[in-house]
Structure 1
Amino acid sequence: MPVAVGGAVVVLALAVGASVLLGVQSLAPGAVLDAVVGSSADARTDAIVDSRVARTLIGLVVGAAVALSGVVLQGLTRNPIAEPSILGLNSGAALAVVLGIRFLGLDDVTGYVLAAIVGTVLVAALVQSLTMLAPRSSAPVSMALAGAAVMALAQSLIGAVLVTDRGSLDSFRFWQVGSVAGRDAGGVLDIAPVLVLGALLALTAGPTLNAVALGDDLARGLGQRVVLHRGLAAGGAVLLAAGATALAGPIAFVGLVVPHLVRALVGVDHRRVLVLSALLGPAFVVLADVVGRLVSPPSEIQVGIVCAVVGAPVLVLVVRRVRGM
């Protein structure tokens, strides 16, 4: 485990360095250092560094939040393809925020978070209800299909709202595809209480998730208060998914790809998976953002699209493995 953590820290550090240095205009480390300490005389370089530092910080926070949420959701549902975007949670949160902006006049991160939490909870309940209608043997795939249906509906409604309001279309297009570009890093501080609470609930849920993996009856036999601990862990996953969506829009597949990669490295002990996911999730999102800047200069591809391109094949592989069991 220490070796894996050390390797993850190195990967994360390299991702942060690449995010600050690389883009349409690449920067030398010395120029970045001058801009950070305030000794640069080039206003353009200062602006570029400020922008990249902000999007890197947001990418780190969002990556950790979504990855942790994915681990918890997979553990609670015992479903290897459970993940905030696949279950429609991110899209439900984004829809709630857009509706709040359009009809309630929400204009700050606090309002976005509250709306996102409501949307996430409602979608989670809807997806779970739809899944219960299917045979138990097909529950993993049925849950993914229910989430995909809810996600498609939410995205359609978001599009309808934004098209009818030109101002909203210009200002909030990222609610359809997540992005860390152009966001105010100050939003991280506004949303920090929600994310910190969610992270604490998730990171301390390892023993609960390990017990639940053995079955609820055995978990009770091991002294677990299953309902309470499940509720706390689920609350953490909801807070993390809602907070990440309020900050950067719906970024897909991070909570699927990262936990499966981590399990391949350190096994299935959720205590280890949670810690390593909190490090590799940010690296994944930040590197995806870097790739989005470099593949089609001078324009950029939003990080949500890059994550989906990577995550979609992983979803197919996991589903094939589940159906083959």
Structure 2
Amino acid sequence: MSHQLAVIGTGVIGNGWIARALAQGWEVVAFDPDPSAETRTRVFVENAWPSLTRLGLAESASLDRLRFADSLDAAVANADLIQENVPERLALKRDILANIDAAAAENVIIGSSTSGFKPSDLQQACTKAPGRVIVAHPFNPVYLLPLVELVGGTDTQADQIDTAQAHYKALAMRPLVVRKEIEGHLADRLMEALWREALHLVNDGVATTEEIDAAVVYGCGLRWPLMGTFLTFHLAGGEQGMRHMLEQFGPALKLPWTKLEAPELTDELIDRVVEGCEHQAAGRPVVELDRRRDDFLVELLDLVQKYWPEAEGLEGRI
């Protein structure tokens, strides 16, 4: 049985959803008011297709299963799942989600790709079936990275989250149900903490962007794909595990090493960050860096699957 995904907004994230759904054999109907949207989307998907092919395509996967609708109502008319990806402006998202809610059948889940807003805030202008409007936050590149954070709002029922989990699993994703609404959800809050520290280190002249990236790539970053934060520290405690680690290193948490607030984005800091990144890119266009990243992720995902094929004890939550 064929599934149909409606994608509203076709920027980098929206196009990532499109590529993933096509690779899984879904029909995709997209809507974006930009006249150049369809051309950009088809170029994006064609560029992603080699990596998706290496990762493994569904038997019915085809680029021909994508079409663009001429209106939002037409895009969502027969959808089994709807994904909203418009810019991160709350008023805009509320307006678009209210229009989608009014147009779509009331049993269809509407996922927002928002990286920061809470679902209860997104549901406020929806009057038909607000509970089915949830956060479904993916990670770039969406067509390769499997995590999607699912967050329900005030009006969301447990069965709606269950339905959402089933749909995203059918897209070969790993849904992580976030227990409580919180700005930034889970993963982005963790990434933002590292990002703030990195900006401070650049701003204070402690390190360049390249040196900070090297510290992640050749240090902590190598452990994170397998163990994440907590299990990594559990091993740091030796045979006694986390309890010994906290007893030994816990007092250091009180030391004023960390910078909890981001530094002011002065022109000088912006220039340092931009110049550092341009030095690292070494003149290579973004499309070339995208392909290099994708090739790496395909191989890395094979390793993750080999060593952590299923998160034991987390069935139904991830």
TM (normalized to structure 2)?
Answer: 0.29
Q: Which has the larger radius of gyration?
A: 2
Q: Which has the higher contact order (CA 8 A, sep 6+)?
A: 1
TM (normalized to structure 1)?
Answer: 0.29
Q: Which has the higher helix share?
A: 1
Q: Which has the higher strand share?
A: 2
